[in-house]
Amino acid sequence: MDYSKKLKKENDSANKPRYETKRVALLIFKIFLIGLVVSVFSICGATLAWILNVIDEAPDVNTIDLKPKKNYTTFIYDIYGNEIDRLNSNQGEARIYATLDEIPYYLQRAIVAIEDSRFYEHNGVDIRGALRAILANLKTRSLSEGASTITQQLIKNNVLTHAKTFERKIQEMYLALQCEQKYNKDLILEYYLNTLALGHGMNGVQSASDRYFNKDVSDLTLAECAILAGITQSPSRLSPVSNPEANWDKALIVLDYMEQQGYITLAEKLSAIAEKSMPILDDSIDGNQDINIELENISDIEIDTSHFDLVSANPGEDTVQKYINRDGKITEGTLYGKINTLNDEFIAEIVPHTSFIDAVIDAALRDLVEEGGMTETQANNTLYGGGVKIYTTFTPEIQSIVDKVINNPNYYPANEKKIQIDYRVSVLNDDGTQQHYGTIGFVKYSSQVEGFKQNKLKDWGITEDMNYTETIYETLQPQASFVIVDNRTGYIPALSGGRGEKYGSRTFNRATQATRQPGSTFKVLAAYAPALDIGMLSPGSVILDEPLTIEITPEEIYTPKNHDGIYVGPSTMRRGIWHSVNTMAVRTVQMMGLDTAYKYIENFGFRTLSKEGKDKVYALPLGGLTHGVTTLDLAGAYAALANKGVYLEPILYTKILDMDGNILFDNSPPSPENPDGHQNTHQVVSASTAYLLTDMMKDVIKIGTGWKLKNDFSSHPVAGKTGTTNDSKDLTFAGYTPYYTAAVWLGHDIPEELTESSTHHLTIWGKIMTAVHKDLPYRDFVPETTGYVKATVCSLSGMKPTRTCFKTHTDYLRPEHLITEYCSGHEIITDALETPPEVVEPQEIVEEHVIIIPPPTPEEKSLFIPELDVIYTPPVIPVIPEPALTPSAPITLAPDIIPKPDPLLLPRLDPLLDEQPSSELPQILIPELLPPISSSPEESTNPPITEDESEFFIP
């Protein structure tokens, strides 16, 4: 028997399961390996597809702009081009762009050394840095390490988001590679240096340099450059203001990196360190063991301190140096002491904008939207963060005069003075809820404010142990507003939106936002200016001064009354202006029609008229408006009369430039040479109309309602008109000289009667204008009487006077109004006036000019505006008293005729006078009425602590 074969067979049978197992295992391994390879390729393919999709979703490199777009500081300049204010972004951040040639070499290299040492070698992505970051992130299982190059950081800040995702990182790297081919290294670095967040809302190196060192960035020293570079990696933790030690430690590292990378020498580094403290030259610098100097003869190195003004320094001690503070004064301090002082001064300068700047901002926003085609959001972002330059009409010398007078308490009625208190308290309850309380009240003296507060807290049940916050605003009363306009240009050199402390920016501006009733200042604009301009009346035209009743509807009539309750019968337009006669102004509007009067008011530039036409009423010439007018618009309207009838929109700024110096908005007058100008300008009345109104309004100051102005202004000719509302709640004066026009308002914010005096606003106007005109050469108004001739006429008939004409005057009138016939005499009626008016001698005798325009011929009637029927005696229906200057419903126009009142029955002084014409024409002056002079009440010795309180509770 062959045992060897038998043994082999037995062994094969025994090993067969083992071989089978190996074979299966090998097969499984092969399948796994193939699956793994397939999986890897599948994953790689999917990953590649995902990466390609992420890249495909990245912005097109040809459409992106790496230049920072937000948070630029807007600069505001005065009439001389000097900076007067700044506007930061709505987030409170600031950025001032600086080109690379304005940024010092040290600062450029400091940023490169600490942020991206291989910046000038890589093509947008630093592979070594990226691999290092990947390994670090794998170890920490996070994205804590970014290893972003300067190019990548620029893309992250200005193009992509700050989200820490793989998608954003891939897009960032892809775009960095693309942008490095589109932009050169210098431009990328310039954009980055203007993008950096450097703490406390400062973006970019120029704004940070201004805040921390009060310098232009080009003037920074090496040490100051290192301090800025040290902020970048953690603006809060490494702030030179709040964490100076941590910041200096980082600055030393920056200096060390700069030396290692060959940007500075050891001597330059030591000189920079000396600005902080004089180093001890042994085997360490300034005791800092982190920075070792490997140099045998270190003590032989010379420290250069010529680049900063050294006061004192000893090795190992802080260096004291000289620097210039924000007031322009030379002072002393250590490096970080200087930074803290300058930062405090920077914060102290962040005060509420002035009323003028508030008005500029509001005007610019309005113009950019209404005429510049922007949305409100776009306009807001342009001014706050757009880095534009606004050139204003602000004249500091004039503004200083205005502020000084407006804030002088001696120019306000003593008995009216008080302090309005707006007191608000928020209580935090134990359960986390809040309760809010508030009150508005008045005290007489500032010493009473604390007592007022304690009384209110007691009333509300608030005790000292409760958790509450309080806010209090104190506003002086009465208040005032003032606007001055250059007649030739429409420029506003100064304005005041109120007196006293200003608590915030863009708060309520009484000069541009308060709409108060203008009173009789509207008589000239709504009645007499259009009546002269359309040729219906002349300066000496006779207008009836007698009780007037106008039927509005069968159920409603309007009966204006004179302020003094006196009616003198036939009177001249001149007297109607200087004595401010209500009935004559309303009658003039009635004669020419409301449509004409209202159209002229619109052309005078008032922007607060009712859009529903509610102001087209017979109270219009008395200033009875739905919303009132602003002091600015009133000054602009009267400036048109001073400017030969040409309306120039009052403007607060001349132009707005974008960051690149291009004109964004031109506020100059439009012309063929400058079609982009936006200043509204048009002829509102003729030059002759403007001059004749000026001539008549000069009498307002000579003998009329504004006669007290002579006490405070007399250096130049002045014309103007006063305005006083019912109960003297609003006192207004608009007047002009050959140089400037100004309007002033005085009253309480919450309207109430001014009982002490009605002339304090004239004092304010006069004091300001006297100072403004102090050094101006004397100039008079230039006469313009085209279309008028001078003639002497009978004051009652308008005909050539005879000896029977006991009152004659010489004045301007239109030739078509002249009557060639002699006056036929006057009927003797001794009782024509039931009660002769009281006559008060004027303070200054002036010749009165009176002309009566004869009734129009049938051919002439078509030249006049349709008129209304006049009811000379009240009908037997309920009579509605004169409203408090509030508008009424419009009235339906009557047939197209001029009113023809009954013949006037006039008294005759001497019935025995010869009726034949005489070559001697006597000029007989009849004194007119002056406004009564009211005496000021004595000041109370025991003024009330509070009055007129109104409270509110907000749950």
Which residues pair with residue 76 across a beta bridge?
Answer: 85, 390
Do residues 741 and 540 touch, judged by C-beta distance below 8 A?
no
Which residues in 150-168 are b (16+ Cβ under 10 Å) and which e? bbbbbbbbbbbeeeeeebb
Q: What stretches of 794-861 show up as alpha helix (H) in DSSP?
A: none
Which residues pair with residue 202 across a beta bridge?
Answer: 94
Closest CA to 537 of 489, 573, 499, 497: 573
Q: For residue 232, which phi and psi values (nearest 5 degrees)?
A: -60, -40
**What is the C-alpha to C-alpha distance for residues 390 and 357, in angstroms, rounded to an integer?**
10
Q: What is the pLDDT of residue 161?
A: 58
Q: For the chain, percent helix, then strand, then coil, each to nearest 5?
A: 35, 15, 50
Q: What is the pLDDT of residues 278-337, one digit of tens each?
A: 887 654 444 444 444 444 445 567 788 788 888 887 887 889 999 999 988 999 999 999
Inter-CA distances, 531 with 148, 209, 525, 741, 796, Å: 77, 63, 10, 23, 20
Which residues pair with residue 952 across a beta bridge?
Answer: 438
Q: What is the pLDDT of residues 645-660, one digit of tens each?
A: 999 999 999 999 999 8
Q: What stretches of 534-581 show up as alpha helix (H) in DSSP?
A: 573-578
CA dihedral 335, 339, 340, 346 (to 10 degrees): 160
Question: Which distant-in-sequence residues (6+ apart) come within 8 Å of 880 by Cβ?
Answer: 556, 557, 558, 559
Please calculate the CA angle 239-241-244 and round it to the nearest 5 degrees.
70
**What is the C-alpha to C-alpha distance for residues 498 and 509, in angstroms, rounded to an integer?**
7
**What is the C-alpha to C-alpha distance for residues 28 and 22, in angstroms, rounded to an integer?**
10
Which residues pair with residue 794 across a beta bridge?
Answer: 808
Tokens, residue 302: 């010379």
Do residues 732 and 743 touch, judged by C-beta distance below 8 A?
yes
Closest CA to 89 of 382, 389, 286: 382
**What is the C-alpha to C-alpha distance for residues 471 and 455, in angstroms, rounded to an integer?**
15
Tokens, residue 222: 């090496």
**R_g of the chain, CA atoms, integer Å:** 42
pTM over 0.85: no
Tokens, residue 703: 């003998």
Do residues 94 and 208 touch, judged by C-beta distance below 8 A?
no
Give, for 378, the enclosing helix (H) or strand (E).
Answer: helix 376-383
Q: Tell me, what DSSP letter sits at residue 831?
A: T
DSSP state string for 545-595 = ES--BEEEETTEEE----TTS---EEEEHHHHHHTT-HHHHHHHHHHH-HH
Residues lower than pLDDT 70 in the chain:
1-22, 24-26, 29-30, 38-63, 130, 133-147, 160-169, 171, 281-300, 757, 826-955
Question: Which distant-in-sequence residues (6+ apart) come within 8 Å of 251 by Cβ?
Answer: 223, 226, 227, 229, 230
